[in-house]
Amino acid sequence: MQLIRKAEQDGFTYTTVQGDSSVDVTALCYDSRKVTEGCLFVCMCGSTFDSHQAIPDIVKKGARAIVIERDTELPDHVTVIRVGNSRKALAHLSAAWFDFPSRKMFTIGVTGTKGKTTTTHMIRALLEHAGKKTGMVGTNGIFIGSERIPTMNTTPESYQLQEAFRKMADAGCTAMVMEVSSQGIMLHRTDAIEFDIGIFTNISPDHIGPNEHKDFAEYLMCKTGLFSQCRKGLVNADDGHAESVLSHAECPEMMTFAADRPADFRMSGLTYISEGKFVGLAFQITPPAGGLLCHVGIPGRFNAFNALAALSAGELMGLDEETLQNGLRDIRVNGRMEVAYSGDFTVLIDYAHNAVSMDSLLDTLREYHPKRLVVVFGCGGNRSRDRRYSMGKIGGEKADLSIITADNSRFEKVEDIIADIRGSMEKTGGKFLEIPDRREAIFYAVQNALPGDMIAVIGKGHEDYQEINGVRHHFLDREVVEEALSEMKNKS
Alpha-carbon distance of 246 to 257, in angstroms, equals 12
Question: Strands across the sheet with 175-179, in order?
Answer: 147-149, 141-144, 134-138, 175-179, 106-111, 195-200, 230-236, 253-258, 265-275, 278-286, 292-296
Question: How does pLDDT run across 109-146, given as a tens digit for each residue?
Answer: 999 988 999 999 999 999 999 999 999 999 889 999 88
Beta bridge pairs of residue 373: 454
pLDDT value at residue 434: 98
Alpha-carbon distance of 221 to 224, in angstroms, equals 5
Asked whether residue 117 is domain-assigned, the answer is yes
pLDDT of residue 71 exceeding 80, the answer is yes
Alpha-carbon distance of 86 to 379, in angstroms, equals 39
Question: How does pLDDT run across 467-485, given as a tens digit for each residue?
Answer: 999 999 999 999 999 999 9
Task: Assign residue 337 a region (left: φ > 0; alpha: ψ between -120 and 50; beta: otherwise).
Answer: left
Alpha-carbon distance of 324 to 339, in angstroms, equals 21
Asked whether residue 332 is domain-assigned, the answer is no
Asked whether residue 333 is domain-assigned, the answer is no
Do residues 464 and 375 share a domain? yes
For 39, list phi and psi in degrees, rounded to 5: -85, 165
Do residues 305 and 424 share a domain? no
Domain that holds residue 143: 101-326
- Could you give the angle at the alpha carbon of 334 between the alpha carbons of 332 and 335, nearest 5°? 120
Q: What is the largest CA-CA distance in the chain?
A: 79
pLDDT value at residue 254: 97
Alpha-carbon distance of 106 to 114, in angstroms, equals 24
Helix, strand or coil for residue 235? strand
pLDDT value at residue 284: 96
Question: How does pLDDT run across 260-283, given as a tens digit for each residue?
Answer: 999 999 999 999 999 888 999 999
Other CB atoms within 10 Å distance of the CB of residue 377? 27
- State how beta strands 278-286 and 292-296 pair: antiparallel
Mean pLDDT of the chain: 94
Helix, strand or coil for residue 373? strand
H/E stretch holding 468: strand 465-468
Do residues 286 and 315 share a domain? yes
Taking residues 95-99, what's their average pLDDT? Answer: 98
Taking residues 222-231, what's their average pLDDT? Answer: 93
Taking residues 91-104, what's their average pLDDT? Answer: 97
Say if CB 79 and CB 3 are below 8 A apart.
Answer: no
Do residues 299 and 398 share a domain? no
pLDDT value at residue 217: 84
Instruction: Tell me the residue ranges of DSSP E strands in 318-400.
Output: 338-342, 346-350, 373-377
Taking residues 293-312, what's their average pLDDT? Answer: 95
For the chain, the 3-state helix, strand and coil shares in percent, each to the nearest 5, are 35, 25, 40
Which one, of 157, 154, 194, lies nearest residue 178 by Cα?
A: 154
pLDDT of residue 207 exceeding 60, the answer is no
Taking residues 415-439, what's their average pLDDT? Answer: 97
Q: Is 353 exposed, middle or buried (0-12, 13-18, 19+ CB in 10 A)?
A: buried
Taking residues 292-304, what's their average pLDDT? Answer: 94
Question: Strands across the sheet with 79-82, in order?
Answer: 15-18, 79-82, 65-68, 40-42, 28-29
Do residues 208 and 159 share a domain? yes
- Of the candidates 97, 120, 135, which is a domain's last residue? 97
Asked whether residue 331 is domain-assigned, the answer is no
Integer angstrom CA distances of residue 115 from 58, 302, 390, 407: 41, 8, 22, 23
Q: What is the CATH number for 172? A: 3.40.1190.10
Alpha-carbon distance of 263 to 242, in angstroms, equals 11
What residue type is assigned to position 234 of the chain? Answer: L
pLDDT of residue 208 exceeding 60, the answer is no
| Number of domains, the chain | 3
Q: What is the CATH number for 427? A: 3.90.190.20
pLDDT of residue 460 exceeding 90, the answer is yes
Question: How does pLDDT run across 162-203, given as a tens digit for each residue?
Answer: 999 999 999 999 999 999 998 899 899 999 999 999 999 998
pLDDT of residue 46 exceeding 70, the answer is yes
- Of the candidates 97, 128, 149, which is a domain's last residue? 97
Do residues 10 and 146 share a domain? no
Contacts of 483 (CB under 8 A, 6+ apart): 443
Do residues 356 and 486 share a domain? yes
> Residue 358, Cα to own-chain centre: how many angstroms?
18
Integer angstrom CA distances of residue 128 from 132, 136, 197, 319, 341: 5, 11, 17, 11, 24
Say if CB 382 and CB 417 are below 8 A apart.
Answer: no
Taking residues 383-387, what's their average pLDDT? Answer: 91
Percent of the chain clearing pLDDT 70 (strictly above): 98
Percent of the chain clearing pLDDT 90 (strictly above): 86
Q: What is the CATH number for 81? A: 3.40.1390.10
Which one, of 31, 261, 302, lies nearest residue 157 by Cα?
A: 31
pLDDT value at residue 75: 85
Taking residues 214-239, what's their average pLDDT? Answer: 90
Asked whether residue 108 is domain-assigned, the answer is yes
pLDDT value at residue 474: 97
Alpha-carbon distance of 290 to 307, in angstroms, equals 19
pLDDT of residue 210 exceeding 90, the answer is no
Question: How does pLDDT run across 241-257, given as a tens digit for each residue?
Answer: 999 999 999 999 999 99
